[in-house]
Amino acid sequence: MVSKSHLKVALCLFASAAQAGMQEGYKAYQEGDYPLAFKEFRQMAWEGDKDVQFFLGLMYAIGQGVAKDEKEGAIWYEKSAKQGYAGAQVNLGHLYYKGAGVPQDYEKAVFWYRAAAVQGLAQAQYSLGLMYDFGLGVRADLKEAANWYRKAADQGYASAQHNLGVFFQQGKGSSPDLKEAAVWFEKAAQQGYLPSQFNIGYMYDQGDGVAADLILAYKWIFLAARAGDEKSKTWQSSLESRMTPEQIEKAKALAAEWKKQHL
């Protein structure tokens, strides 16, 4: 199943396509008229337009305006990917990674992730980093994994920021650097990434890489707990046992301010 993040990338990459005579299909898609959008896209896809081929693949993969068919989605993704369309390349990589619509093949996943990553697509850079991190379809290489995580993290990709924080926290491939880990966890936490919210909250609690601050610790732990993170719920109780009511109130006010700004 294509994630919300994949769809977000799809919509961003589609902007150029909308300028290439596809306004009617794009307008229908934006308005939720998927059958009409599918009809418009399919005709242009057969004519070889790589942007439309990508979107047609997406609609098949998700099941919008047509019965869900990941095999057919992979066919159209590949037509677009071979013409260099980064969104199709990364989504085709995801299908090979999962074995959805195509046989599972980590090496092919790496091939398509790399094709999109070198074009600067953050999602592909993150995915390629994962493959190097865990040695899937390529020989494990922590230095190379960190390199691709950083490229994606520098573009604001929260999952990559978190994983880069883990690298610094655990000293994967180098010596631990808790100060640098805290920087990346906080960047991802600011975007609402739950694992990073817990991690930076814990670091403020323990004074790891940052000055110890129970109020900031509680702010992040409270936000993650309210979003359903079980580990944060447990740690919230631990923090409350060591804080005054005034401190807790101030921390909750900071959390409310963050939610107002980010949600």
pLDDT for res 1: 37
User: pLDDT (tens digit, 0 to 9) for every residue of the chain, 263 residues total?
Assistant: 344 455 555 555 554 544 444 778 888 888 999 999 998 888 889 888 899 999 999 999 999 999 999 999 999 999 999 999 999 999 999 999 999 999 999 999 999 999 999 999 999 999 999 999 999 999 999 999 999 999 999 999 999 999 999 999 999 988 899 999 999 999 999 999 999 999 999 999 999 999 999 999 999 999 999 999 999 999 999 999 999 999 999 999 999 999 999 87
DSSP 225: H
Side-chain half-sphere CA neighbours of 200 within 13 A:
29
pLDDT for res 260: 93
pLDDT for res 130: 98
Give me the residue label for tokens 């599918």: 38
Rounded distance between C-alpha atoms, residue 122 and residue 154, angstroms: 9
pLDDT for res 78: 98
Rounded distance between C-alpha atoms, residue 199 and residue 214, angstroms: 14
| Domain 1-116 CATH assignment equals 3.30.70.270 | no
Domain with CATH 1.25.40.10 in the chain: 1-116
Give me the residue label for tokens 């690298």: 167
Rounded distance between C-alpha atoms, residue 44 and residue 41, angstroms: 5
Rounded distance between C-alpha atoms, residue 153 and residue 159, angstroms: 8
pLDDT for res 7: 52
DSSP 176-224: --HHHHHHHHHHHHHTT-HHHHHHHHHHHHHTSSS---HHHHHHHHHHH
